[in-house]
Amino acid sequence: MSFLLFVEQLLNGLQFGVMLFLTAAGLTLVFGVMGLINLAHGSLIMVGAFAAATVSAATGSYLLAIAASIVGAAAAGAIIEMLVIRRLYKRDHLDQVLATFALILIFSEGTRYVFGSFPLYLNIPPYLAGPVTLPGGIEYPLYRLTIIVVGLLIAAGLFLLIARTRIGIQIRAGESDREMIAALGVDISRLYTLVFALGAGLAGLAGAMIGAIQSVQVGMGEPILILAFVVIVIGGIGSIKGALIGSILVGVTDTMGGILLPAFFRLFMDNSAAMSTGSALATMSIYILMALVLILKPSGLYGGKA
């Protein structure tokens, strides 16, 4: 395998990881602050993607589409938080799983009802289409590079938000001591809605970004959601830093596994056998990574106590 291909795949892994981070950050925040496991987070990815596709089709503007994905998903998040989710904070995990599973059914079928079963497409705008040449002569799609940059900027912004701002202080306080911040006069139910909507907005953004690479369709969110769970298990629950490191690890493992493992098996197998063994193992590689973390550090790389 050539060096160029290697770097390109590495970048693809990074881009995938950044996407996972946008999903995992919201999940881990919601769990850290409210103690809630939200399966419907994947639906918010889908909502964001559909909002973007609709606005893009109507206006032709990619920027407006991106804005719509964030606003649409955040609004959907705020609504379900107020209608359903807030009744679940004090419930056990089983109730949370079932209720948010019910939300998936409602969101998925509702979207299918409105938009039909055929996938929509979200086009990459002309000014982001095509490749750029990176130092070292590597050609790489500008759109994917933009995703990496934007994702990393958002990660940085999130760190600043949590470390420096008033709302960040409240979030951190909410993670450690709920009664305390209520006693300090913070409107806790508003804070929860806000955190939930923030996570939803990030998921929506991820949806719009993915939508332009793949297609926009019902059920697109859940595979990403499950990978985001893997990220959280690896990174440690409630930790934004863990989510970032975990996302990149998972993203890179996934893409690199897909090319390295078949190449590895080609060393001592014939081509087609190596291809099928390698790619079968590659689909399992991130889960094997997760299993290793579980064996070595059950609470995740940056987690507290499991």
Which among 121, 127, 158 is positioned nearest to 24, based on CA atoms?
158
What letter does residue 270 receive in the DSSP assignment?
A: -
Which among 241, 247, 253 is positioned nearest to 288, based on CA atoms?
253
Compute the distance between CA of residue 227 and CA of residue 241 in angstroms, rounded to an integer: 17
143 alpha-carbon distance from chain centroid: 18
Mask 2-41, x = binds other proteins (CB under 8 A)?
-----------------------------x-----x----
Residue 24 near residue 155, CB atoms below 8 Å: no
For 123, half-sphere exposure in the C-beta direction (CA atoms, 13 angstrom radius) is: 11
- Give the number of residues written for the chain: 306
Binding of residue 256 to other proteins (CB under 8 A):
no
* 19, 103, 171, 249: residue in contact with other proteins (rule CB under 8 A): 103
Which residues, 105 to 124, sit near other proteins by CB under 8 A? 105-106, 108-110, 112-113
To other proteins, the closest distance from the beta carbon of 54 in angstroms equals 19
Among the listed ranges 143-151, 163-171, 185-193, 274-282, the one in contact with other proteins (CB under 8 A) is: 274-282
Mask 202-231, x = binds other proteins (CB under 8 A)?
--------------------xx--x--xx-
Binding of residue 176 to other proteins (CB under 8 A):
no
Cβ contacts of 225 within 8 Å, gap of 6 or more: 23, 27, 39, 41, 42, 45
Tokens 């508003």 belong to which residue? Answer: 190
User: Among residues 92 and 179, whose Cβ is nearest to other proteins?
Assistant: 92
The count of chain residues that interact with other proteins, using the rule CB under 8 A, is 43
Residues that bind other proteins (CB under 8 A): 31, 37, 84, 87, 92-95, 97-99, 101-106, 108-110, 112-113, 222-223, 226, 229-230, 232-233, 237, 276, 279-280, 283-284, 287, 290-291, 294-295, 298-299, 306
